[in-house]
Amino acid sequence: MINSDYRINIECFEKDQMLDKRAIGSGIYIIELLVNDDKEAIPLYIGKSEYILKRCGEHLYTFFKRPCYFGLSEANMAASNLLIRFRVLEQCPSADLFKKETTQICRIHPILQHATNDRMLGIGSKMKILEKVLKNKLSTDKRRH
């Protein structure tokens, strides 16, 4: 059962207010965090799957059972100014998944995984990194207003 105090927003493969059909097939996806409706997303994780939509459902299940999976705290989960967004980066055949994923990781540098592979950092590291990023982001937003 999902904690009723959770207010975090989730957006899964939306394109023009509909499901991005590329999410049904094989390819590379990104999980991002947005703060305060900011247009600039924080890249959390890049993954590959033969069935992107199914894989991201698995990520969401784990995330709601253990928010620290994406480096978030219970307080973050209760914040309605946060949005977790899943997006397709590119479709590709199964044979190309590994190479394409590695290329995207090296290009985008998601903050919760190693620099050259799809392995996520440890829970403690993810939480420290995300806490620091959110603190910087929120203090920058306050200075703008």
Q: What is the pLDDT of residues 105-124, one digit of tens each?
A: 999 999 999 987 789 999 99
Looking at residue 125, its amino acid is S
> Which residue's entry shows tokens 């055949």?
93
Task: Pick out the chain residues at pLDDT < 70.
Answer: 1-2, 141-145
- On whether residue 135 sits in a domain, the answer given is yes
Domain presence at residue 73: yes
pLDDT reported for residue 42: 96
Vertex 11, ends 81 and 62: CA angle to 5°? Answer: 90
Q: Provide the mean pLDDT of the chain.
A: 91
Tell me the C-alpha distance between 142 and 117, whole Å.
35
Give domain status of residue 100, yes or no: yes
Q: How large a percentage of the chain has pLDDT more than 90?
A: 74
134 within some domain: yes
Cα 89 from Cα 2, distance rounded (Å) = 28
Distance CA 62, CA 2 (A): 11
pLDDT of the residue at 100? 97
Domain boundaries, position 29 = 9-144
| pLDDT of the residue at 142 | 59
Q: Is residue 66 part of a domain?
A: yes
Q: Specify if 4 maps to a domain.
A: no
Domain count, the chain: 1
- Helix, strand, or coil (residue 89): strand
In a domain, residue 30? The reply is yes
* Structural domain includes residue 32: yes
